[in-house]
Amino acid sequence: MSGSDLVFKVSPGGCLKGEIRVAGDKSISHRSIMLGSLANGVTEISGFLEGEDSLATLNAFRAMGVKIDGPDNGNVTVHGVGLHGLKAPHGVLDLGNSGTSMRLLSGLLSGQAFDVEMSGDGSLNSRPMKRVSVPLGSMGAIVEGTEAGTPPLKVKGGQALKGIRYKMPMASAQVKSSLLLAGLYAEGETCVIEPAPTRDHTERMLQGFGYEVRVDGRTACLSGGGELQATCIDVPADISSATFFMVGAAIAADSDVLLLHVGINPTRIGVINILRLMGGDIELQNERVVGGEPVADIRVRSSQLRGIQIPEEQVPLAIDEFPALFIAAACAEGDTVLTGAEELRVKETDRIQVMADGLKALGVDAEPTADGMVIRGGEMSGGSVDSGGDHRIAMSFAMAALRATGEVKIADCANVNTSFPGFVALARGAGLQIGSQNGE
């Protein structure tokens, strides 16, 4: 462990209480910058997530000539340049740890007149990109990675794109979004057919910017040649970030939290559905629609969770929330079985293996499988866990300390800032006994 590594140290026990507004939704923050940049006019964004991933997207568009004011306390002003107004950047676009930025930009940049190279950190440069480069190739795009299909990616400009009808082999909102963004520049109609529902923020936001998207069941279609018109976007709080507090409140005795202004897009509420199936006490209050996205305040109180067989149709609706759900399973009575989640093996880390290793380090019976895990709930001891540099794993094990019998020490936590800046202060304010320090 290098001297700059951040270590979380969390004392055992405690409970969570109070009203909490977590960081803004990362998926919506990314897309607000992308579509705002391509729109005609000035887009005002509030609630923007000032984490490293969404800032990577913001900086990429600045590098391509878009004037962007902020972020200032979540407020961003994007001076759109229109669909054909981007300029070639002066060097490689560095997207840090953000797979969303790279996959969505692969589609968007396929329609530009100039060449671009995109790269990232060690984790991003080891992630699979053929899932977007291959279907984009069938549209006429040229997106080249390494022999292994990983970044750096070179996107060749000046290609004449043609619309396609693409049946996705696996459910992925990033692949769907990448193809729809390329479709803005393609001749004819681009349709993407999903094997299972995934988050639909791109389709909703395109419509919010006045672009026609036709959605019929699991098929989304658009035609090239239209225009985007600037709008105002209030980014809801991120349900993925709210998940850590939902799980923490569910597992810790005497907890009662109200999570404010959380996005409850139907393609993202797998975590609520799964926790309720496990016996979680979750109540949605003040439901409303803000900027095309459904929002609610979520009240969670402590409850006795029980192990379940997680329904496979819920898996794509909760794919980012499984690290935290694994902690809930470890505190539940009986066995929890997850199948159909092989996608977890190609996230920031192999989340199945890293979570299983961490749970075992805390004395939990956790058996990884090819596409999921079997977790036998029981007592959790203290111990040392390595997050593998994965922000969601770090925050999940921080919440595990609420039920642990000893201190939980989590290594390699610097990447928490990619998705949830201010997590430590917010968690401490709610009652988690967490501190952080640089590792030795």
Q: Is the CB of residue 370 less than 8 Å from the CB of residue 353?
A: no
Q: Which residues contact 65 (CB under 8 A, 6 or more apart)?
A: 81, 85, 86, 87
State the catalytic residue, choosing from 94, 121, 234, 320.
Answer: 320
Provide the 3-class DSSP secondary structure of residue 21.
Answer: coil
Question: In degrees rounded to 5, what are phi and psi of residue 135?
Answer: -65, -35
Question: In degrees rounded to 5, what are phi and psi of residue 143?
Answer: -125, 110
Q: Which residues contact 247 (CB under 8 A, 6 or more apart)?
A: 275, 324, 325, 327, 328, 396, 399
Strands 17-20 and 219-223: unpaired
Task: Say if residue 51 is exposed, middle or buried (CB neighbours under 10 Å; 0-12, 13-18, 19+).
Answer: buried
Annotated active-site residue 72? The verdict is no
| CA dihedral sign, ordered 178, 390, 349, 260 | negative
Q: Is the CB of residue 383 less than 8 Å from the CB of residue 408?
A: yes
Q: Is the CB of residue 16 less than 8 Å from the CB of residue 255?
A: yes
Active site members? 320
